[in-house]
Amino acid sequence: MKKLFILGTLILGVCAFADEIIYNGGKIIPLELKVIETAPYDLNFCFATKYNDTIHLTHSKGVHTISERHCADISYDNGQTWQKPEKGVHVAGMNAALNSKGEIIQIGIWDAKAKTQHNLVWDKITPDGQRVHLNKTIDLPYATSAHTHRDILVTRDGRMIATAYGKKVNANRSHIFAIESKDDGETWNFLSIITEPEAGDQEGANETTLVQLKDGTILAIYRVDGMKSCKQRRSTDGGKTWSASERVGSMGGASPHAIVLENGTLALVTGRPNLYLYLDFTGTGKKYQQHTVWKGGTSSYASLIETAPNELMVVYDESRFMSTKSNSDFARIMAAKYSIVKDDSLSTISGDPKAQGFDVWYSAWDKKDPMEAKFGILMDYKKDKNVSSHVYVHEIPERPYPVLRMQSHGTVADGKEWARIDINKMPEGVAKADVEFEFRLMDNSDKPQFMVSVYFTPQEGKNLSAYVAFAKDYIQYLQDGNLRKVPFDFGVFKFRNFVMKCDTTKNVWELYEKGGTKPLLKLPFINSPKTSHVAIGDGGRNIFGTIDLSYIGWKYKN
């Protein structure tokens, strides 16, 4: 940690805090972590909006629902430094956006009564800092309570769209509707219902973020229960109609906030407990991969700011919230900054025609080893054939394409074996995955020659893994901390295909021969300290032999 320094009443600090993390189709490079504000009392609910190089941040201080009060910070240099706003400066951290004239438009509806006409609090802040504050009205086609939340989307056709949630007459759960302005935010009208409450949504649907994807689709991502994952719906007609709901991730879904970066990556922050950053390098909202920003006490209300092209700032709180414990006597408002690199070369779907339909895939089809293909990291395997444990791409007469030869014949002087390939492309939050692979054993050995381990972090505090290894006449697995065997006539020099079907929601994984209907193994997951990834080769110094890997790939579901 670099030396802390004082600016106004705020304590600021900067530190580097991790190495890059490679995902399928891109990577995250953590850049710095700053303290925006710290206090010996609770700090929660961060809403931040960027206007050119100025960032407005509003949050709360004090115990939620008891001593909670409004608080604000402002940065005039794109998040490098922060200060308390001077007297008379209006901070618009939420429900606000710049119009085409460079004016900040901020709106608010907070009405607990179900009715058709609501008061709309309206503010305009001109570029020279003048504020116009008015109370306007908005008419709805039906009676409902109404609460605006989060952000205003400025669409590519120049409209402004915002969302509100509320309960209709006699309803016990909320729904979400959209309102729009076609005149730079001056007047607002009802646009559409985004979603009604669905079965299983404890709260109904409420806190919503809107984002327009590169293809013009508007995505509405919304909370249905703070401790369950979000849902989303799509509109391809400018917000008039909306698709069926889709589940997003597997973690809590409080106050989601999404933006699209310059490179087209869709970024989403949400959580509870903890805080998670979801990235979809395809920009479609169909391939989210989860990254943990903060584990600890937090309201999980956070905001995303693109401070430079593809440079992402996450503004969030580290604080006690309700029954959540804090790791410190002090609460903090934080800014975590990342570089988000979209890199199709990091996508493991190669030109191999067999890769179609998989989310992650490796084969030596294009004559690249896992490191060259940016698929996995060699752990004690070397590329030098003269060492005892090595890998190399190998042409064989039995296949029209190369295979990856993996030899693990001991890596240390005492002959103990430890060589594997780690593939950090199983995102956090994945709950289900089908892992398929084809290989053959090459040694007439009594020991297992190849293993596959799949690690999951499906929910907080419950890392799980599945482990299987193959010998010529048995399959080895791990249960209750012990290695166990089941007979299996694998043979030598014969390619075999297997599928591991993993479902952490049922706490069971199964091993099949590809095309088989009866599982060879059906086992509970093992508690594991390791986070989400896949490992092949050797996982525990008990694999000894040579194999030819034809391919490995998997499909995952949140």
Instruction: Say how many residues make up the chain.
Output: 558
% of the chain with per-residue pLDDT over 70: 92
Buried b / exposed e over 374-402, threshold 16 CB at 10 Å, is bbbbbbbbbeeeeeebbbbbeeeeeeeeb
Tokens of 128: 């020279």
**Cα torsion at 90, 91, 96, 98 (round to 10°)?**
70
Displacement of CA 253 from its chain's centroid (Å): 11
First-to-final CA distance of the chain? 36
User: 204-240: per-residue pLDDT in tens?
Assistant: 999 999 999 999 999 999 999 988 899 999 999 999 9
**Nearest alpha carbon to residue 277 among 336, 234, 231:** 336
pTM: 0.80
**Cα torsion at 382, 384, 388, 392 (round to 10°)?**
70
Domain 348-557 carries which CATH code? 2.60.120.560
**Which of 181-185, 482-486, 541-545 shows the lowest per-residue confidence on average (mean pLDDT)?**
541-545
Amino acid at 34: K
Are residues 185 and 160 in contact, defined by beta-carbon separation less than 8 angstroms? Answer: yes
Are residues 268 and 284 in contact, defined by beta-carbon separation less than 8 angstroms? Answer: no
Are residues 204 and 173 in contact, defined by beta-carbon separation less than 8 angstroms? Answer: yes
Please say if the pLDDT value at position 345 is more than 80.
no
Q: Where are the domains of the chain?
A: 1-90+249-343, 348-557
Q: How far apart are CA 288 and CA 267, in angstroms?
A: 9
User: Mapped to the 3 state alphabet, what secondary structure does 501-556 carry?
Assistant: EEECCCCEEEEEECCCCCCCEEECCEECCCCCEEEEECCCCCCCEEEEEEEEEEEE
Please say if the pLDDT value at position 509 is more than 90.
yes
Q: How far apart are CA 339 and CA 379, in angstroms?
A: 26
User: 410-449: per-residue pLDDT in tens?
Assistant: 655 445 557 889 988 888 778 899 999 999 999 998 889 9
Please say if the pLDDT value at position 281 is more than 50.
yes
pLDDT band, residue 2 (cuts 50/70/90)? very low
pLDDT band, residue 459 (cuts 50/70/90)? low
- Whole-number pLDDT of residue 7: 31
Q: How far apart are CA 405 and CA 394, in angstroms?
A: 6
- Whole-number pLDDT of residue 1: 29
Mean pLDDT, to the nearest integer, of 461-487? 92
